[in-house]
């Protein structure tokens, strides 16, 4: 590579400072500056961001590509990123490792009735519930992409029968694959635990709704590790009240942080975590970002290139 390429980071300041320090210490090919304290706008060729401040891109005349700090891109305003700029999401092994362990934890928590036992413990009740092996509990995954596939393999490895749903048809050894509207109905009918690992797009917003809950086996468990916008929150509360959904593990909510008065906080059938299913890891995240920029410099296509029309 000739000359040092300047990357601008927009996101949590502590992470930006850590990334800037590591880039400085490990390579002479790049400099990472942290918004809002960047130098000459004319030097910046690459932008890595969780969200992009309004008007920033218009101030960067030599910008060549945009990268998401995370695996998802729905938090970015895609319409505000000019179509001629390639946009790539973060593909790094730390996200997969974290997300698969989160899904395993959530599946096991629902399978072993953890929400009920936590409530019983608080009430001082010693009452065993029926115990079944994992082989008797079918797990359905919405999304069979990078994370959905990794989660499917992990959950299958724990002994659960696994099915999955994607936009395009797939054939994967040991996983019953479904696609399209009919496929969704078939998947829901055999999901004792339903896991959402979809990207949030126009097509997937609100997919966790009353109509789809009604297609699940009665008392099914729900895990949302995708985005809060996938879930119609009022429909989940109704489904929990009626017993159609037995319990839920939610890592993401429509508004984050969750409002202090929100009924999810104190709901005895909900386990809530603050969007920590996966967090981009510093070492592997920076390595993946710099590798991807090097690909761009060499004129190769980017890993994780987002298809703007599809929205993921
Ligand atoms: P990905 O590789 O792009 O996979 C997306 C999957 O969803 C693909 O299988 C895709 O189908 C399927 N899909 C998309 N639209 C669909 C539709 N309309 N109907 C049916 N299937 C559809 O994404 P990923 O890396 O697995 O990540 C998935 C999402 O996880 C991210 O977008 C993000 O929102 C979320 N996430 C959450 C956390 C967290 O901390 N909770 C962390 C990281 C990521 P095809 O295979 O046919 O394209
Ligand atoms: C986290 O939610 C991500 O998209 O990486």
Tens of pLDDT along the chain (312 residues) come to: 668 999 999 999 999 999 999 999 999 999 999 999 999 999 999 999 999 999 999 999 999 999 999 999 999 999 999 999 999 999 999 999 999 999 999 999 999 999 999 999 999 999 999 999 999 999 999 999 999 999 999 999 999 999 999 999 999 999 999 999 999 999 999 999 999 999 999 999 999 999 999 999 999 999 999 999 999 999 999 999 999 999 999 999 999 999 999 999 999 999 999 999 999 999 999 999 999 999 999 999 999 999 999 999
Q: With residue 10 as reference, give the H or E element that holds it.
A: strand 5-10
Annotated catalytic residue 275: yes
CB 54 within 8 A of CB 35: no
Q: How far is the CA of 30 from the centre of ligand 2 (A)?
A: 24
- Nearest atom (ligand 2) to Cα of 275: 2
For helices 93-111 and 114-123, the axis angle rounded to 10 degrees is 60
Check residue 172 and report its DSSP letter.
B
pLDDT score for 61 = 97
Top mutation candidate among 143, 181, 184 for ligand 1, by most atoms within 8 Å of CB:
143
- Chain-centre distance for alpha carbon 117: 28
Check residue 309 and report its DSSP letter.
T
- Nearest atom (ligand 1) to Cα of 204: 18
CA distances to 19, 90, 250, 297, 308 from 81, rounded to whole Å, are 23, 17, 30, 20, 10
Q: What is the 3-state secondary structure (H, E, C) of 5-32?
A: EEEEEECCHHHHHHHHHHHHHHCCCEEE
Q: What angle do CA 73, 75, 81 make, to 5 degrees?
A: 70
CB 312 within 8 A of CB 306: yes
Q: How far is the CA of 31 from the centre of ligand 1 (A)?
A: 31
CA gyration radius, the chain: 21
Q: How far is the CA of 8 from the centre of ligand 2 (A)?
A: 19
The token pair at 190 is 């055999």
pLDDT score for 2 = 66
User: What's the length of the chain?
Assistant: 312
**Quick one: residue 219, left, alpha or beta (phi over 0 = left, psi -120 to 50 = alpha)?**
left
Catalytic annotation, pick one of 156, 275, 295, 308:
275
Cβ neighbours, 10 Å, residue 285: 23
Both ends of the chain: CA-CA distance in Å?
30
CA distance 293 to 15: 19
pLDDT score for 3 = 82
What is the number of alpha carbons within 13 Å of residue 93 lying toward its C-beta?
3
Q: SS3 for 280?
A: coil
pLDDT score for 1 = 65
- Nearest atom (ligand 2) to Cα of 69: 5
Cis peptide before 36 (omega within 30 of 0): yes
Q: What angle do CA 20, 23, 29 make, to 5 degrees?
A: 130
Q: How far is the CA of 35 from the centre of ligand 2 (A)?
A: 20
């Amino acid at each position: 590579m000739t000359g040092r390429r300047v990357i601008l980071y927009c996101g949590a300041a502590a992470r930006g400072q850590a990334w800037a320090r590591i880039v400085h210490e490990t390579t002479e090919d790049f400099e990472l500056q942290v918004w809002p304290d960047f130098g000459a706008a004319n030097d910046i060729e690459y932008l890595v961001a969780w969200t992009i401040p309004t008007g920033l891109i218009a101030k960067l005349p030599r910008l060549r590509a945009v990268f998401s700090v995370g695996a998802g891109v729905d938090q970015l305003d895609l319409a505000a990123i000019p179509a001629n700029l390639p946009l790539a999401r973060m593909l790094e092994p730390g996200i997969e490792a974290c997300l698969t362990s989160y899904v395993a934890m959530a599946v096991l928590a629902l399978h072993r009735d953890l929400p009920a036992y936590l409530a019983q413990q608080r009430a001082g009740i010693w009452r065993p519930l029926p115990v079944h092996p994992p082989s008797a509990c079918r797990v359905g995954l919405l999304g069979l992409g990078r994370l959905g596939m990794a989660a499917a393999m992990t959950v299958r490895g724990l002994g659960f029968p696994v099915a999955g749903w994607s936009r395009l048809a797939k054939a994967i050894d040991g996983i019953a694959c479904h696609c399209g509207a009919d496929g969704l109905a078939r998947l829901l009918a055999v999901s004792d635990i339903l896991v959402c690992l979809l990207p949030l797009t126009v097509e997937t917003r609100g997919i966790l709704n009353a109509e789809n809950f009604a297609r699940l086996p009665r008392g099914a468990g729900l895990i949302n590790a995708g985005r809060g916008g996938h879930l119609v929150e009022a429909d989940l509360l109704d489904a929990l009240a009626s017993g159609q959904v037995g319990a839920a593990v939610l890592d993401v909510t429509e508004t984050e942080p969750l409002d202090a008065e929100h009924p999810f906080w104190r709901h005895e059938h909900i386990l809530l975590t603050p969007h920590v299913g996966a967090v981009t890891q510093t070492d592997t995240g920076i390595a993946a970002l710099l590798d991807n920029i090097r690909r761009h410099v060499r004129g190769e296509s980017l890993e994780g290139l987002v298809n703007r029309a599809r929205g993921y």
